Structure 1
Amino acid sequence: MTDDIRWEVVEESALTLADHEAITALLAQAFPDWSHWFLGSRSWSGMQPERRVLARDADGVVLAHVGVRRMFISVGSEDVLVGDTGLVAVSPRLQGAGMGRDLLERARSVLEGLDVPFGFLGAGEDRVPFYANLGWHHLDEVVTDYTAFTAEGAGMPMTEQGGWMVLPVASPLEDWPAGPVRLNAQQV
């Protein structure tokens, strides 16, 4: 099965309607509790990614996906450029087969190509060990404020503690400032 997989990095503006529909189908499967977000060709849940890493089978079915977007976030009293990383998904039938590791290695390459100091993502507490094994660092005790949008489009201020992670890309982890995080926007 994995021999027939084609990996690609796609800029958002290069995606076709059929691409968005294929990505949407995967995201609805991978995030069943949020499947009401992923209908038709709506292949994002907050801010649209700038670049996407996709794995497709020979029929064009999307098997894995991650989105990345450059943005500034506030950490303590500093503005930090990050590659906000999200919508990390692997087809449920392929989870546990190493595809997630391959996907995140390719996401790291995208972050390096974007020349951002850090990658940033929010993960469920149960997924922190997976990301930590791939070089992401859990921001213990960090509280993050962001704007969450409903499927209907209304923005809601949110505050969450736990599951926030950073990946040193072009800067060492020691350069990550201390303090609470404010995304000042949506997440990818």
Structure 2
Amino acid sequence: MRSQVRWKLCWENELQLSDHIELAEFFRRTYGPTGAFNAKPFQGSRSWAGARPEFRAIAYDSSGVAAHMGLLRRFIKIDGSDLLVAELGLYAIRPDLEGLGLSSSFRVVLPVLQELGVPFGFGTVRPALHNLVARFGRGGLVIVKSGIRVRSTLQEALLDKPPTRIDDAFVLVVPVGRPISDWPEGEMIDRNGPEL
């Protein structure tokens, strides 16, 4: 599968309007089947849902966008301790390519994480994606942690909702510049911003 896709690794400001339009359509088609609400943020040419990524890994094949992962450096708090991470999110694989091994080719972001000098990559996945998370954890590249609550701000301040939400999610940790033993133990992670 990896030989059939080509990866574009780019900073957010390198994307053209046509890239955003193509990505927005890709996310609507990919996230839409999981619920109309999941596709809602990607209206028009908007190619991000919460926080906007600073870097993207985009896979293309003969049918267009095949897969995507966004990256954003930020400080999170784990039980009050600050930690610099590269948050990984906006993860998607086109439905016709799921189960064909494309997810393992996301290793293309490792050199970028190393170049950025972050100690860890960090991401969250909702429990419904347990099987996907289990596959990531098998190779040892990603450490999967459960039993951790993650607080995020909402993308917009709404009058009828609290400004933050708390999720019970699987936490994915990628040791980059430090060993996994340096990851702080804790039961609550504060994103201090919207999820990627």
Scaled by the length of structure 1, what TM-score is found? 0.90
SS of equivalent to 1:46: coil
Correspondent of 1:170 among 174, 177, 192: 177
Instruction: Find the counterpart in structure 1 of residue 114 from structure 2.
Output: 112
Instruction: Find the counterpart in structure 2 of residue 141 from structure 1.
Output: 147
Higher helix fraction (1 or 2): 2
CA distance in 1, matches of 2:58, 2:176: 21
The offset of 1:142, in angstroms, is: 1.2
Instruction: Find the counterpart in structure 1 of residue 68 from structure 2.
Output: 65
Among all aligned residue pairs of Structure 1 and Structure 2, give the percentage whose two residues are the same amino acid. 31
SS of equivalent to 2:27: helix
SS of equivalent to 2:40: coil
After superposition, give the CA deviation of every residue in 1:28-81 in whole Å (9 maximum; x if it has no partner). Answer: 12211211111221110111101000111246x211100001000011231100
CA distance in 1, matches of 2:168, 2:62: 41
Residue 92 of structure 2 corresponds to residue 89 of structure 1: yes
The offset of 1:3, in angstroms, is: 4.4
Instruction: Find the counterpart in structure 1 of residue 26 from structure 2.
Output: 26
Are the equivalent residues in 1 in contact too, given 2:147–2:170 (CA < 8 A)?
no
Residue 48 of structure 2 corresponds to residue 40 of structure 1: no
Q: What RMSD in Å do the two structures reach over aligned CA positions?
A: 1.7
Instruction: Find the counterpart in structure 2 of residue 184 from structure 1.
Output: 192
CA distance in 1, matches of 2:144, 2:2: 30
Scaled by the length of structure 2, what TM-score is found? 0.86
The offset of 1:23, in angstroms, is: 1.1
Instruction: Find the counterpart in structure 2 of residue 102 from structure 1.
Output: 105
State the number of aligned residues. Answer: 183
Query: Which residue identity is paired with 1:41?
Result: S
After superposition, give the CA deviation of every residue in 1:68-116 in whole Å (9 maximum; x if it has no partner). Answer: 010000112311000000011111111111111112x112232122111
Query: Unpaired segments of 5 or more residues in structure 2?
Result: none
CA distance in 2, matches of 1:84, 1:167: 10
Residue 124 of structure 2 corresponds to residue 122 of structure 1: yes
SS of equivalent to 1:55: strand
CA distance in 2, matches of 1:3, 1:80: 36
The offset of 1:2, in angstroms, is: 5.8
Residue 88 of structure 2 corresponds to residue 80 of structure 1: no
Are the equivalent residues in 2 in contact too, given 1:6–1:58 (CA < 8 A)?
no
Are the equivalent residues in 2 in contact too, given 1:24–1:38 (CA < 8 A)?
yes
